[in-house]
Structure 1
Amino acid sequence: MTWTAPHVVRADEPFVAGERAMLEGFLDRQRATLLHKCAGLTAAQLAERPLAPSNLSLLGLVRHLAEVERTWFRRRFADQPVPSLHGTPDRPEAAFDDAGSARAADDLAALVAEQAAAREAADGMPLDAIFVSPRWGPMCLRWAFVHMHGEYARHNGHADILRERVDGAVGT
C-alpha cells in the first residue's frame, strides 16, 4: 500500500479572545492549513517540483517550516540547544534542495513534532519575552508570533499553487 499524507482537521481560530489566545489560534490555523494542503498526497507527489526551475515542493515547504518553528521558538526564545534540522551555513536551501520522497513521512512527522515543541517552548512565556538577535537586536515573543503568521501565510499561498499543479485540487 502506498503511503499518503494523513487527513488533517483544522479548528477555527478563536473569533473572540484575548491577545495570546488569538495569536496562538491564528498560528495553529496556519500550521494546520499547510498540513491540510499535503493531505492525501503520496510521498512522490509531496516531493514533486511542478514549477521548474524552482526548487519549491510541498515537502520542501514542510521541511523549511519545521526548521523555522525550531529556530524561532526553541533555539532563540527557549534557548534550547537543538541542532538545525536541514540547513547549514554553506547550504541554506537544503530544506528545499534535499526534499525527497524517501523521507516524506518522516519529514511530515518532524513538522508536526516541531509545531508541538514550539507550542511547549512558548507556553507560559510572556509575549514580552525578549530574544536578542545578533543581527537585529531585541525582539519580543509577540513579534515572533506575528512573524510566524506571515511565514506560514506566505508559504501556504505557495502550497495552494503547488497543490493545484500536482493534482488539480483547489480550495482552502
Structure 2
Amino acid sequence: MTWTAPEVPRNEPPMVSAERASLESWLAYHRATLLTKCAGLTAEQLALRPVTSSTLSLLGLVRHMAEVERWWFRILFDGQKDLDDLYCPDEDPDGDFDRAAAATAEADFAVFASECELADRAAAGRSLDETFPHPRRGEPIDLRWVYVHMIEEYARHNGHADLLRELTDGVTGE
C-alpha cells in the first residue's frame, strides 16, 4: 500500500498576543501550512517535479524545511555543532531537493516533525534577545531574528508549495 501524507490541524494565529506567543504561533501556522499543501497526496505525487526546469517537489520542500529548522535553531542558535546536515552534505548541497524520492517520503515527514519539535525545544525558555554570530556575516543576530527569518522562509516556500500542488493534482487552497 502506498503511503499518503496525512491531514494536519492548522490553527490561526491569535490577532492579539505577546511577542513570543505571536512568533511561535505564526511559525506553527506556516509549518502546518506546508503540511496542508501535502495532505492527501501519495508518496509518488509528493516526489513529482512538475516544473521541468526545476528539482522542486513538495517532498523536497518538506526535506528542505527540516534541514533549515535544524540549521537555524539547533546548530546555530543552540550550538549543537556535532549535528550533521540531514540531506545536504558538502558534496551535495541541494540533496534535500535533488534526492527527494517517494521511497523515503514517510520517513522524511517523520524527520520534519521531529526537527520541528527539537527546534521548539532548543528555543524553549530562551530569551528572544539571546544572540549568536550570523554564519556568513559574523555579526550578532538574536533568536527573534531566527523566528522572523523562519516565518519568511516558510511563507516563500509555501507559495512554491501552492504552485506545485496545483500542478500535481489541480488542488488550490489557502
Q: TM-score range by the shorter chain?
A: over 0.9
Q: Which residue of 2 aligns with 1:27?
A: 27
Q: CA RMSD in A?
A: 0.8
Q: Which residue of 2 aligns with 1:138?
A: 140
Q: How far apart, in 1, do the equivalents of 2:62 and 2:95 lie?
A: 12
**In structure 2, do the counterparts of structure 1 residues 140 and 30 end up closer, same or farther at CA, with 3 Å as the change threshold?**
same
AA at the equivalent of 2:69: E
Q: Which residue of 2 aligns with 1:98?
A: 99
Q: Which residue of 2 aligns with 1:111?
A: 112
AA at the equivalent of 2:101: G
Q: How far apart, in 2, do the equivalents of 1:139 and 1:90 lie?
A: 28
Offset of residue 135 of structure 1: 1.8
AA at the equivalent of 1:30: H
AA at the equivalent of 2:170: G
Q: How far apart, in 2, do the equivalents of 1:3 and 1:95 lie?
A: 20
Offset of residue 92 of structure 1: 1.0
1:145-160 to 2 correspondences below 5 Å: 145-160=147-162
Q: How far apart, in 2, do the equivalents of 1:2 and 1:56 lie?
A: 21
Offset of residue 16 of structure 1: 1.1
AA at the equivalent of 1:145: Y
Q: Deviations over 1:51-83 (max 9, x none)?
A: 012000000000000000000000111112321
Q: Which residue of 2 aligns with 1:13?
A: 13
Q: Which residue of 2 aligns with 1:56?
A: 56
Aligned residues: 172
> Matched residues, percent identical?
55
**In structure 2, do the counterparts of structure 1 residues 117 and 134 end up closer, same or farther at CA, with 3 Å as the change threshold?**
closer
AA at the equivalent of 1:157: G
Offset of residue 141 of structure 1: 0.5
Q: Which residue of 2 aligns with 1:77?
A: 77
Q: How far apart, in 1, do the equivalents of 2:165 and 2:135 lie?
A: 37
AA at the equivalent of 2:59: L
Q: How far apart, in 1, do the equivalents of 2:118 and 2:140 lie?
A: 23
- Unmatched segments (≥5 aa) in structure 1: none
Q: How far apart, in 2, do the equivalents of 1:49 and 1:142 lie?
A: 34
Q: 1:163 aligns with which of 150, 158, 165?
A: 165
| Corresponding residue SS for 2:140 | strand
Q: How far apart, in 2, do the equivalents of 1:120 and 1:78 lie?
A: 10
| Corresponding residue SS for 2:92 | coil
TM-score (norm 2): 0.96
| Corresponding residue SS for 1:12 | coil
Offset of residue 89 of structure 1: 2.1
- Unmatched segments (≥5 aa) in structure 2: none
